[in-house]
Structure 1
Amino acid sequence: MASSTAEPQNPSVTDAAVAPPFVLAAHAVDFGFPGVSILRGWSQRLPPGLTLVLSDESAGKTSVLRLLAGELAPAAGRLQLNGREHGSAAYRREVFWRDPRDAWPQGMTPLAWSAALAAECPRWSGAAWQRHVEGFALQPHLEKAMFQLSTGSQRKVLLAGALASGAPLTLIDEPVAALDRASITYLRAALQDCAAPDAGRAIVVAHYDDLDGLPWQCTVALGTP
Structure 2
Amino acid sequence: MNNASALLQVQGLTFSHPGRPVFLDWSACVGAGATLVCGGESSGKTTLLRLLAAELPPNAGSLRLGQVVLADAPQAYRRQVFWADPRSPAMDALIVRAWLQGLPAQYSEWNAPALATHLDGFDLHPHLDKGFYMLSTGTRRKVLMAAALASGAPLTLIDEPVAGLDRASIRYLCQALADTAQAPDRALVVAHYEALDGVPWRAVIELPELD
TM-score (normalizing by structure 2): 0.91
Residue 133 of structure 1, aligned match among 115, 119, 124? 119
For the pair 1:51 / 2:35, whether they are aligned, the reply is: yes
Q: CA deviation at 1:51?
A: 1.0
Superposed CA deviations along residues 174-212 of structure 1, whole A, max 9, x for unmatched, are: 0000001000000000000111152x1101111111123
Paired residue total: 208
- The correspondence of residues 11-90 of structure 1 with structure 2, limited to 5 A, is 20-87=4-71, 88-90=74-76
Q: CA deviation at 1:41?
A: 2.5
Q: CA deviation at 1:19?
A: 6.7
Q: CA deviation at 1:80?
A: 0.5
TM-score (normalizing by structure 1): 0.85
Partner SS, residue 160 of structure 1: helix
**Structure 2: how far apart are the matches of 1:67 and 1:143?**
32
Match of 2:203 in 1: 218
Equivalent pair of 1:18/1:218 in contact (CA under 8 Å): no
Unaligned runs of 5+ in 1: 1-16
Letter in 2 for 1:74: P
CA 1:23–1:103 in structure 2 vs 1: closer, same or farther (change >3 Å)? same
Q: CA deviation at 1:20?
A: 4.3
Percentage of matched positions with identical amino acids: 49
Partner SS, residue 104 of structure 2: helix
Match of 1:181 in 2: 167
Equivalent pair of 1:95/1:169 in contact (CA under 8 Å): yes
Match of 2:137 in 1: 151
Partner SS, residue 42 of structure 2: coil
Unaligned runs of 5+ in 2: none
Q: CA deviation at 1:224?
A: 6.8
CA 1:92–1:73 in structure 2 vs 1: closer, same or farther (change >3 Å)? same
CA 1:76–1:187 in structure 2 vs 1: closer, same or farther (change >3 Å)? same
Superposed CA deviations along residues 72-108 of structure 1, whole A, max 9, x for unmatched, are: 1222221101121124111011100011011254552
Match of 1:5 in 2: none
**Structure 1: how far apart are the matches of 2:200 and 2:23?**
24
Match of 1:196 in 2: 182
CA RMSD of aligned residues (A): 1.9
Q: CA deviation at 1:152?
A: 1.4
